[in-house]
Amino acid sequence: LRRGGLAERLCRLQNRERSAISFWRHQCISDTKTSGKKHKSGVLIVKILEMCEECTIQVAVCQQLEQTPATLSPGDAAVNAGEPILKVLFARETAAHLKSRPQDVILIHPPWQKLLLKNTDVPVIMNTYFSQKVLLSEHSETGEKAYSLTKMPIRKNVISLAQTFRLDDLGDALHQEPSENQVACAPQIPNNCDSKQHPLVPSAVNDSLLEMVESQGAVGWREVQVRVVIQRVYCLPAREGSRSYVQGNKPLAAPPTMNSDLPNVRLCLLVQDAYGMFSEVQLQSLSSADDVEQYCRRWEGRFCCLAGMKILQRTTRGRALGLFSLIDSLWPPVVPVKVPGQTQGSEMMIKELPPPSFCYILAVQSSEIDVEVDEEEQISHLYQPPAVRGLKDILQMDGCNERCSFWARVLYLRLQTKGHVPINQREIWLFVTDTTLQNVVPRMPRVVGVTVAASCVLSTEISEALSVASQRVFFKDALWGNGRIICVERTVLLLQKPLLCSAAGADLSELTGPVRLDELDSTTQANSICALRGTVVGVNERTAFSWPTCDRCGNGKLELCPQDRELLYCNQCSEVVVSPVLKMQLEVFLSCPSRSQSTVKVKVQHEMSCGLFVLINVLLSLQSYEVQSVLGKEVGLLNCYVHAVTSRPNCVGLEEIVLL
Amino acid sequence: DMLFSRLNFIFGPSAVPALGLVDQRAVTRVTSPSGRTAYQVLGSSGKPYTCYSSCHFCTCPAFGFTVLQKSESLLCKHILAVYLSQALGACQELSVSEEQLTSILLAEEEDEG
């Protein structure tokens, strides 16, 4: 700063003022209450009628009072006609200190300044650094405290660009030369305090999510409605925070154990506005995901109006990989989107538009749906239905974390229990196939494993259906990456194909004939299923054991009858088990020509065993495990689940399974 | 002093830097034969910024951000310096040809383009 210059003078003044203000404030605290006291002349007493904020300055329309009201209650809203109206400006720091609201009475100590503008009658009071709020009574003090805890939203008057650029008064000849007595920007302070209309609220419905989000915080934003297209409907687990794992096989941090009556999933929509911007809207909490199929059918592709949304978060690509992988699958938009500043987008522009890098997550304010879905109207052109592909194409995709949709038959289901994980945290492995894989393709597996992570919400209908019989399931928006297909949050499993889906050359025909599994060979990996044939070369006698089970209910934990220690008793049936079924578990070593280098160890259970059934039956009937008689026997095609594959020693551990 | 105080109150953080610019005589009014005017202010980095005379506009990044985007301020320090220099008669004067003024006004647009 130049020595002796104006800036230096102002700097010194600023410092003087700052210290004066803090000194005065300190003094105020130690002062006694001010109600009813007569003040020194020069003190301005005002009651706030209305407040708004403009460019960080708080503008309060007030009424000047003669003296401090002694017994005025805060609820007294009557405006005395005779009292003059003032517009008082408070600097940001003063306003934060005062925390005033309408109907408050403020004492403004000198030095303050009055400004009379040319065009208006209402005088402006400035330099209100030494302001104090009048505490009216004992009662209101505690009320004040409670009030000040809740941050009151204050209307922010946004000066429109038209005003800044003076587009309204282009007719004006020259802008006036400011004189020394008048603050230069005075003509620019618009009298917007009086207008009830918020500048951004049109009476028509908006079509920009960004505008709605940016107008939040201002009074009247609740009336802003945005019209959007619902691209996807799905359920998210209720506790999902902003951290979403892409490799969904890691269970989320354990929430309390699931109580089926409590809401633990949230219905969510992924919406897109006319400018191509996406937003995830969280609707009400549901206790289960049972209706999601219905919502998908009714709502996807339709227009809906959002109003009065609460902004939960503005998330970016790096923080919400799962969400953005879904957004990427819907990019670029299929119809031209609007570009701010232009009325119509062009075809060429779509291809050049970069995918979005941020997304707002909104939520409804109350438990009622603030979202009106227009179910009557036609499907929007902006809607991109899931693109169904054959599994063969998906396995050949070289992207990472790409969303894909397919229609496949589930052959086998396995729950992965790693340690003590609660039921709702378990991962489910599904082994699926479709016609594209079953028709023999070199170097492609016939069956592929799909991991269903705990974050992927399944409806009870699907869960039950999957465990009972082989089902055709539509996997909507599963993730493909690192050579695996996983179902994570935002993936939806449906029992029926949705009405709208684009099948780009995918073969969606039903599988004919029996399903064939890949045969055990050198490329077989752990956690897959395969078929094998071989010769018995050994039996692991150490791990063989048998146990009786109830013939009625299959209960494997039978007890000895208290009365007669020779008989067995089943708790579940509450009856004596007369003829128990003997189950036996046995590990058999096979020599398989398809994988001749490895020791193949197959765990078989008596009841399920098909190929080995006859052999074991023979053993049992003889009441002895004649290993010799089993050796060398040929075993036909067994369906197995591969537990582990180790290279040193070269061993494959399998378990015989029954396909659905 | 009273004036200073009022300036400070309304303009807050822009006031001192604006006065600094006035002290340095950094504001130049550029006029052309047709009567068109523009203001050029030498910023603290030495870079000249153009301010329009017909409305509030300045080519500095602070204007675009605090005024246009966030509506946190009414003007930037350059525009305030223009007003103050006018009031104090501390503007430097420069007459240029039409083409030169046009290029001043247009050059900024190219930068932003």
Question: Taking CB atoms and an 8 Å limit, are A185 and B10 in contact across chains?
Answer: yes
The residue that leads in pLDDT, A50 or A611, is A50
Mind listing the pLDDT tens digit for each residue in A513-546? 778 888 888 888 888 888 888 888 887 777 777 7
Mind listing the pLDDT tens digit for each residue in A44-101? 888 888 888 887 788 888 888 776 665 554 444 455 556 778 888 888 888 888 888 7
Task: Measure the CA–CA gap between A100 and A51, rounded to whole angstroms.
Answer: 9
* pLDDT on residue A262: 55
The residue that leads in pLDDT, A470 or A29, is A470
Are A1-18+41-68+83-135 and A528-656 equal in CATH topology? yes
Fold of A205-238+264-335+355-384: OB fold (Dihydrolipoamide Acetyltransferase, E2P) (2.40.50)
Q: Which of A327, A305, A306 is nearest to A316 (CA)?
A: A327
Query: With 0-12 CB in 10 A as exposed, 13-18 as middle and 19+ as buried, what is A517?
Result: buried
Mind listing the pLDDT tens digit for each residue in B5-27? 777 788 878 888 888 888 888 89
- Structural tokens at position B46: 């030495």
What is the interface pTM, i.e. ipTM, of the complex? 0.84
* pLDDT on residue A162: 67
Residue A260's pLDDT band (boundaries 50, 70, 90)?
very low
Fold of A528-656: OB fold (Dihydrolipoamide Acetyltransferase, E2P) (2.40.50)
Mind listing the pLDDT tens digit for each residue in B29-50? 998 888 888 899 988 778 888 8
Task: Measure the CA–CA gap between A170 and A163, rounded to whole angstroms.
Answer: 11
Mean pLDDT of A153-168: 66
Fold of A387-503: OB fold (Dihydrolipoamide Acetyltransferase, E2P) (2.40.50)
Check if the beta carbon of residue A192 is closer than 8 Å to that of residue A157.
yes
* pLDDT on residue A320: 87
Tally of CB atoms within 10 A around A115: 17
Phi and psi angles of residue A5, each rounded to the nearest 5 degrees, phi first: -80, 175
Check if the beta carbon of residue A240 is closer than 8 Å to that of residue A489.
yes
Check if the beta carbon of residue A608 is closer than 8 Å to that of residue A658.
yes
Mind listing the pLDDT tens digit for each residue in A612-641? 444 455 455 444 445 566 677 787 788 888
Fold of A1-18+41-68+83-135: OB fold (Dihydrolipoamide Acetyltransferase, E2P) (2.40.50)
User: Is B31 near chain A, with CB under 8 Å?
Assistant: no
Residue from A55, A125, A169 to probe the interface with B (highest B Cβ count within 10 Å)? A55
User: What residues form DSSP beta bridges with A360?
Assistant: A279, A314
User: Is B8 near chain A, with CB under 8 Å?
Assistant: yes
Q: Minimal Cα–Cα distance from A1 to chain B, Å?
A: 6
Q: Which of A282, A293, A302 is nearest to A236 (CA)?
A: A282
Spatial CB neighbours of B77, under 8 Å, sequence gap ≥ 6: B14, B17, B18, B21, B62
- Structural tokens at position A193: 């305090």
Spatial CB neighbours of B90, under 8 Å, sequence gap ≥ 6: B22, B25, B27, B84
Domain boundaries, chain A: 1-18+41-68+83-135, 205-238+264-335+355-384, 387-503, 528-656
* pLDDT on residue A326: 92
Check if the beta carbon of residue A632 is closer than 8 Å to that of residue A536.
yes
pTM for the full predicted model: 0.54
**Which residue in B4, B57, B86 is closest to A10 by CB distance?**
B4
Mean pLDDT of A24-35: 66
Domain boundaries, chain B: 1-106
Task: Count CA atoms within 13 Å of residue A192 on its CB side.
Answer: 21
Check if the beta carbon of residue A1 is closer than 8 Å to that of residue B23.
yes
Nearest CA in chain B to A170: B54
